Amino acid sequence: MLNSLAMRGSWILSLLLCSLVSNAQVPGVPAPAPVPKPVAAPAPAPLPPSIEGAAWLLMDDSTGQVLLGNNVDTRVEPASITKVMTSYVVSAEIKAGKLSPEDQVRISENAWRGGGGGTDGSTSFLPVNSSIALKDLLHGMIIQSGNDASIALAEHVAGSEEAFASLMNAYAERLGMRGSHFVNSHGLPDPEHYSTAHDIALLSRALIRDFPEDYAIYKLKELTLNGITQHNRNSLLWRDPSVDGIKTGHTAAAGYCLAASAEREGMRLITVVMGSSGEKKRADDSQALLNFGFRFYESHLIYAAGQSVVESQIWKAEQDSIALGLLEPLQVTVQRGKYDQIKAVMDLPKPLLAPYSKGQQVGTLRLSLDDQLLIERPLVALTDMPEAGFFGRMSDELMLWWESE
């Protein structure tokens, strides 16, 4: 036992002596960019495209990073992009077992009037008092942007539009949409009905991630319902084969709006353009943002889930070090040529004291570029780390006391 304590004390003393020689960061922190440095500085990226509109952004889907944007958290009218929230709620309720795609949904007079007396907004031309399969209504709302379909779905899910709006707001809060509030399922103007470009991108990202089968509806170019064929208003579906969603919107107050998403070579980007002056302009600006993002940005996997990021010294434990890592893969998107400039900083308690349970947060990992924080993630224990026995704890207690002096 004395020999064991002496060896432990000798090991700790050697670490302390080493720490006097160097002020380096926590041992074991890997370089964030395991690629050779370029021989010459990368060519600078050109200025981003000039985008018209009240608010707009370009987001990386894999990380949620906003790569470019203007007025991203400014309150705007979402118009028919509201229906993305409606479809998310319907898909979530189906997944929860509360609905079935085969449900027969009655078209009430309120739904038939489309929320505007039968004259305002888009419609799927659903006959009043008819019954339509829920899955067909979902297609009609997404592809044709039918207000009647969205109201019928809301009434079927929650009994009324008002009750359905409360569900929309509950799901929005769960998704982190802090700047949004919904009062209807279709997006016709109301002073209390609003969102932000950032929130719409968060919603789009969640829909793609959580309900890929329902998201696949958004890329369909046309739908025939009740013998009437209508086309998807997202013109990017015809322009760019990499675009597979998501939704347009327009009212006189909101202007022309478009949330779009595309995937090229495994990288997915999301754009949101709100308050544009016309259909072509919103499509042109969205296409310009997508092209710029795919041309001048790249994504890299920094750490895999469960990978040891750092081996850190731990006190009063049965072992001398603990492996720390991440619960989920950590990916980052940066301008091309800047990957090797990413800096990793780990914030860990000093001293690190047992016990810890597997998966318990121990510290924080932060990645930054050009002095700007990119991503922050919790560092967790990759294994259980129980306390040492009495003598081990006492030995470390003495060493910590001595070090503090």
> How many other CB atoms are there within 10 angstroms of residue 347's CB atom?
13
Which residues lie below 8 Å from residue 272, measured CB to CB, with a gap of 6+? 55, 56, 57, 59, 197, 198, 200, 201, 204, 257, 258, 259, 260
* Helix and strand numbers, DSSP H then E, in the chain: 11, 16
CB of 359 within 8 A of CB of 347? no
145 is catalytic: yes
Q: Which of 80, 87, 276, 286 is catalytic?
A: 80
Nearest-10 Cα torsion for 68, 190, 145, 109: 170
Question: How far, CA to CA in Å, does 45 sit from each of 49, 59, 221, 267, 370?
Answer: 11, 17, 34, 19, 15
Which residues lie below 8 Å from residue 174, measured CB to CB, with a gap of 6+? none
- Token digits for 290? 């997508």
Tokens 């004291």 sit at which residue?
A: 353
Q: Which of 62, 83, 87, 299 is catalytic?
A: 83
Q: Which of 122, 124, 145, 261 is catalytic?
A: 145
Q: Give the 3-state secondary structure percentages of the chain, helix then strand then coil, rounded to 5.
A: 35, 30, 40
User: What residues are annotated to the active site?
Assistant: 80, 83, 145
